[in-house]
Amino acid sequence: MIPKLPANIDQIKGFLADDEALALYRYALQASANGPVLEVGSYCGKSTIYLGLACREHNGTVYALDHHRGSEEHQAGEMFHDPDLFDSSLGLVDTLREFRNNIRAANLDDTVVPLVSSSAVVARQWCTPLAMVFIDGGHSLDAALCDYRCWSAHLMQGAILAVHDLFPDPHKGGQAPWAIYQMALQSGLFEELERVNTLGVLRRL
């Protein structure tokens, strides 16, 4: 199932492969019939658009959580730093403007609710059960553990937990997303549905 995508989707900055993006759309389309979707780590909005297009089919909502200051690997001097997203006047990465422009261009302002903060802050008083959570935030172990612990508890029964950038082989990528994915499986609270490229998909039992 392929959604009608914005004409500029391939030009939107991001690190999501096409097969991963379509899998996100497919699972969000199912999940959003039951409740809202929350994404951790929106960057410039590419994954958010796929989630948003799915949720719009059910008049649903995507909560797009990101502090928009970039993950560790996006900072100046790091491997994935993008100078176009660096605010030299502040000396900080700032992806919020690009994100909002992309969401507006995709006509998803009524579907996507930006949450400009961290998991720890937003989850502190969060009460809404979630039908799907997509974790693609900071890739340090502390950041990934925080995202998992903050949001896995808010998944309703049967909800989807998707985690991006899974690399079982440490020579191919960072291990923090893989660690929380394994933690979820070992908890006995989740079953694995499938792996698509570096995207893992679990269901809350």
Q: Which H or E element spans position 144? A: helix 141-151
Q: Which residues contact 44 (CB under 8 A, 6 or more apart)?
A: 12, 13, 14, 85, 95, 98, 99, 102
**Which phi-psi region, left, alpha or beta, contains residue 25 (left: φ > 0; alpha: ψ -120 to 50)?**
alpha
- Do residues 113 and 62 make contact, with C-beta atoms less than 8 angstroms apart? yes
Q: Which of 58, 139, 164, 171 is catalytic?
A: 139
Cα 135 from Cα 39, distance rounded (Å) = 6
Catalytic site includes residue 139 = yes
**Partners of 130 in the beta sheet?**
155
User: Which residues are identified as catalytic?
Assistant: 139
